[in-house]
Amino acid sequence: MKAVNNPPFPCCNTAGFTLIESLVSIALIGILMGIALPQLELQWQTSRRQDAQNSLLQLHLRQLQWRGLNPEYASSLTELNWPSSHSLSQHYLLDLQSSHSQGYVLHATAVGTQSRDTACSSLSLHVSANAQLLRTSNASVLSDIGGCWKW
């Protein structure tokens, strides 16, 4: 009897990837994700800032409507018929500060995952006695150093 020497994998029937090829592919995907995810998070944070800006602008318009009918600006968000103390998409906590007949300050503070946006975690809209509109961010009282307001 003659022994038959059959190779374990015939040349024509091989298919698939080797272990090394699979590990290299997984490593490359990991490196690409490590580069892409921080940039993606930054883009999400930047786009969520629009939530605060839109909410502050809507409150500003409601204040103008209120002031047209009353001798002073509204002193609370409920007077402006704002549904809650959060922005429209719930990424910021809204506050109406120092409201009087001459002006007011609307303030938005980031909450939840948006609070990781340290550059623009706080946005404010100041309206002064001469109807000057001032947009500020974070601790800066007089300017938008972080460039958080795009308009």
pLDDT tens column, 15-29: 678 889 899 999 999
The count of structural domains within the chain is 1
In a domain, 78, yes or no: yes
In a domain, 1, yes or no: no
In a domain, 55, yes or no: yes
Question: CATH number, domain at 86?
Answer: 3.30.700.10
In a domain, 129, yes or no: yes
In a domain, 151, yes or no: no
Q: What is the DSSP letter of 4?
A: P
- Using the predicted structure, report yes or no on whether residue 10 has a pLDDT greater than 90: no
From residue 1, how far is each of 4, 6, 7, 8 by CA, in Å?
Answer: 9, 15, 19, 21
Range of the domain at 67: 18-137
In a domain, 111, yes or no: yes
In a domain, 25, yes or no: yes
Flag whether the pTM goes above 0.85. no
What are the helix and strand counts (H, E) for the chain?
A: 1, 4
| Mode of pairing for the β-strands spanning 133-137 and 104-110 | unpaired
pLDDT tens column, 19-71: 898 999 999 999 988 888 888 888 888 888 899 999 999 999 999 999 899 98
